Amino acid sequence: MRWHLALFLAASFAAYPLDGIAGEKQIANVKELAGNWRGLVRTEFGRESATMVVEEDGTYKASTTRGTLTQGAFDLRDGKLRYQSTRTTGTASLSAKHAKTVLTMMPVDPTADTGRTEYERVK
């Protein structure tokens, strides 16, 4: 019975090798982040929908549906993507998940009002 499961899994990964698996994408320049993003963020009011616009120089503005505004900037240091905003400072990563580009931001010191945030690129 176990070999049936192993055979099924092997066939599934052969047919759909990246389906459902997130793969981190390396970036060489913050210009690659430029564009519109949407996601859910933590605020003092709980989780809220948010939009973020990243400029080619790495600066960004993010706002929630309630109007909370955060401004900041991304930069690459020693090959690692980092950010600093009016609310938090932390690391960021870009990945592909379910044929979508996902930007994940993780503050250095998460609190009840801040935490890991994932944005999807808006096409």
Gap between the terminal Cα atoms of the chain = 44
Q: Quick one: pLDDT at residue 118?
A: 93
CB atoms under 10 Å from CB of 37, counted, come to 21
Q: Quick one: pLDDT at residue 31?
A: 96
Q: Mean pLDDT by 10-residue block, N- to C-terminus, for the chain (123 residues)?
A: 45 42 80 96 84 98 90 95 94 92 93 86 93
Q: Are the C-beta atoms of residues 96 and 23 closer than 8 Å to each other?
A: yes
Ordered domains of the chain (ranges, CATH): 21-121 (2.40.128.20)
Lookup: tokens for 42 = 């933590």
Residue tagged 């929630």 (tokens): 64
Q: Quick one: pLDDT at residue 110?
A: 85
Q: Are the C-beta atoms of residues 49 and 64 closer than 8 Å to each other?
A: yes
Q: Quick one: pLDDT at residue 44?
A: 77
